[in-house]
Amino acid sequence: MRVLADFAMQGRWRAVGSAAALGALGLFVPPIAILSGAVIGLVALRVGLGQALFVAGFGSLFLGAVVFGLTGGSPLIGVFAGLAQWLPVAAMGEVLRQSISWRVTLSVAAVVAGALVLVARLVVPDLESAWVAVGMQMLAPFIEANGTQAEDLEGALVQVAPFLTGLLAGIFLLSMVLSLVIARYWQALLYNPGAFGTEFRALQLGPGPALAMVGLALAGQLLATPLALELAFILAVLFFLQGLAVMHGLTHARNMNSFWLVGLYVLLVLALPQMFLLIAVLGAVDAVARLRERLAEQDQGPRD
């Protein structure tokens, strides 16, 4: 990936081409879109928001042209898709560049994501019914092709709809955060080797957000409040990242074989929902109990 990062940073038009090409591939293989966002994030981190907006804007135009050329559909679809995934990464990259703090950057991103969920609930009168209608429209070809009972799918959508806004916001936030993490890794790889690992392993969000996440989750369960669960999920995305930092920190501090981290990521692929929850809980526990600091003190032993 160093070759890709180095190529993108040799000129802004190369960055535009890299982001657009990866974005186009991401239309067919969605995880690749995360790499396109990482190009935007790298530009923001290295040369600032203005250049990142330039790359995102022209990259979106190229993406629109690709959509029109391949599908004959409106190029605005590609333009919107590019701007929607790249502008937030550019903004987060600028926040990280100015603050030099993952805690500040992730907190700002979570607040914005939560605010968007609240705005959506206020602006759309019957948001749950709207999600069901959109879902049925999108699944119509599947229903016709497979002879699936529309009533069964509609019933499933009705069950999920109350939480769908927060779920999508959290997934979108996670993809943006992963793009920024990769961008930060690339930045260190090119300009400050070794710095990323030290910075990432030290990620600490603090007890406040962790307690807020637990409180929202309990309120959502006990009071049957979907909004509380949606906001808890958004915070869980942040603590998922801290949980990964804990695992990386422990393996580094104990000089453990990298096989353990490989196994962790394999499990993430095989059982993502369960592993996401487990790692997010680990991150929240570390935020409150300072597990890494306690283990570091134990390793140092008693002092005179």
Per the confidence metrics, is the pTM higher than 0.85? yes
Which pLDDT tens digit goes with each residue over 59-76?
999 999 988 888 887 899
Contacts 24+ apart (CB under 8 A), 135-138: 135/161
Q: What is the distance between the terminal CA atoms of the chain, rounded to a whole angstrom?
A: 47
Interval 106-136: pLDDT, tens: 999 999 999 999 999 999 888 998 998 888 8
Confidence (pLDDT) at 70:
84
State both tokens at 251: 């393996």
Helices (H), 205-225: 207-222
Supply the pLDDT for residue 94. 97
Q: CA 132, CA 223: separation in Å to the nearest integer? A: 23
Which residues, 6+ apart, have CB-to-CB distance to 57 below 8 Å? 83
Calpha distance 263→283 (Å, rounded): 18
- Write down the mean pLDDT value for the chain: 91
Q: Are 20 and 62 in contact (CB under 8 A)?
A: yes
The secondary structure element, H or E, covering residue 180 is: helix 150-191
CA distance to 9, 39, 144, 183, 200, per residue, from 4 (Å): 9, 9, 42, 11, 22
In angstroms, rounded to a whole number, what is the distance separating the alpha carbons of residues 65 and 262?
39
Domains of the chain plus CATH, in order, are 1-192 (1.10.1760), 202-299 (no CATH)
- CA distances to 9, 115, 192, 237, 259 from 198, in Å: 23, 32, 11, 21, 19
The DSSP secondary structure of 12-65, one letter per residue, reads HHHHHHHHHHHHHHHTTSTTHHHHHHHHHHHHHHHH-HHHHHHHHHHHHHHHHH
Query: Per residue of the chain (304 residues), what is the pLDDT tens digit?
Result: 789 999 999 999 999 999 999 999 998 898 999 999 999 999 999 999 999 999 999 999 999 998 888 888 789 988 999 999 999 999 999 999 999 999 999 999 999 999 999 999 999 888 998 998 888 888 777 767 666 667 777 888 889 999 999 999 999 999 999 999 999 999 999 999 989 999 999 999 999 999 999 999 999 999 989 999 999 999 999 999 999 999 999 998 888 888 899 999 999 999 999 999 999 999 999 999 998 888 877 766 554 4
Read off the amino acid at residue 300. Q
156, 135 Cβ separation under 8 angstroms: no
